[in-house]
Amino acid sequence: MTGTAAPDTGIPDVPKAELHVHLEGTARPALIRRLAARNGVALPAGLFADEETFAWTDFLDFLTTYDLAASVLRTAEDYRDLVHAYLSECAAEGAIYVEMIASPDHARAVGLPEAEHRAGLFAGIDDARTDHGIEGRILVTAIRNLGVEAAERTAREAAALAHPYVVGFNLAGDEAGFPPAPFARAFQVAHDAGLGCTVHAGEHAGPASIREALALPGVRRLSHGVRAVEDPALVARLAEERIVLEVCPTSNVVLGVYEDYAAHPFTRLRDAGVLVTLASDDPPFFGASIGGEYGVARTHFGLQDDALLDITRTALRAGFLDETTRRDLLERLGSAGSAL
């Protein structure tokens, strides 16, 4: 023993799990540059503010920059490298399980067939498991601002191309401009195919968006859902029905949903008995990481290691993964292995 203390990274030393991260939004500027060069494509104008930073002003502008960054992803190998890079970062911060939200529409936009897109995603998951012991799964997402028909097509394709790594269906994009209800048929298709369903709601729109989201077939989790706090009856319902929130505190603060961590409703929701998990959303855009969010929960919300472990346990129980893998991961926490 040298007696040298481990450096304090601010990241709690507990196993972590993440249920909400947009895969194309995990690429750091350096990776975007490398892939653009490899593919011989020009970097889109307006993408970067500087070497390390994407350029965007507000949420809708962020979505535009996100699309520009994703446009340099062209091949199965790009998606393999993206998944591997992100899962490697997560493993280095102590994560054991990550659900990545992947968008077939972004692959389609650059002419990459869905079979190749998926081959890359799956290779990244396999290689990260081999290298780091971390598990990853995919949630296919529809983009609400592309419309109802595109969402239904995405759901039908996900249903037809069943694969054990593709475990869920989400709805992302412009939440305030495109409420959930018209997407019911897309969710019915996904739910009927056995995909777990979650939907962005209660972030850029209020409690009404959450009630609409909960009326969609199969929805048992909410991407964000934090603005439920504006409606006490809805908070009670979320607790009663054991709906799980994928909470992304740093994203919420950076996007201005809340002024700072002190104003964030994480503690109020958790104290009311709502099941909460932690996630990074779009890490390099928001200066977030899964380890960093656990650090935020400790520093700003007062959670000690046992409470942080409970968050991981909730995420593993609410994850859309198969029961065998769930049981194995829960055993790594010393917990019994049932779904919620």
- Position 203 contacts Zn ion (CB under 5 A): no
Which of 212, 281 has the CB closer to Zn ion?
Answer: 281
Residue (of 75, 49, 121) closest to 284 by Cα position:
49
Question: Which residues have C-beta within 8 Å of that of residue 144, sequence separation ≥ 6?
Answer: 151, 171, 172, 173, 174, 175, 177, 178, 180, 183, 200
Per-position x/- string for 39-58, each x denoting binding to ligand ADE as judged by CB under 6 A, each - no binding: --------------------
Binding partner selected for residue 25 from Zn ion, ligand ADE, none, CB under the kind-specific 5 to 8 Å limit: ligand ADE
The minimum distance between CB 251 and ligand ADE, in angstroms, equals 6
The minimum distance between CB 233 and ligand ADE, in angstroms, equals 26
Q: How far apart are alpha carbons 78 and 97 in whole angstroms? A: 21
Q: Is 189 helix (H, G, I), strand (E, B) or coil?
A: helix
Residue type, 118: R
> Phi then psi for 223, rounded to 5 degrees?
-75, 105
Q: How far apart are alpha carbons 111 and 10 in whole angstroms? A: 42
Residue (of 206, 145, 212, 143) closest to 177 by Cα position:
145
The minimum distance between CB 21 and Zn ion, in angstroms, equals 8
Residue whose token pair is 């994850």: 319
- Quick check: is 203 catalytic? yes
- Position 293 contacts Zn ion (CB under 5 A): no
The minimum distance between CB 105 and ligand ADE, in angstroms, equals 11
- Region from 157-165, 205-213, 281-289, 303-311 binding Zn ion, contact rule CB under 5 A: 281-289
Residue of 16, 117, 118, 200 interacting with ligand ADE (CB under 6 A): 200
Residue type, 314: T
Residue of 11, 15, 16, 25 interacting with ligand ADE (CB under 6 A): 25
> Using the 8-state DSSP alphabet, how is residue 274 labeled?
-
- Position 22 contacts ligand ADE (CB under 6 A): yes
Q: Binding residues for ligand ADE, per CB under 6 A?
A: 22, 25, 66, 172-173, 200, 251, 281-282
Q: Give the catalytic positions in this structure.
A: 203
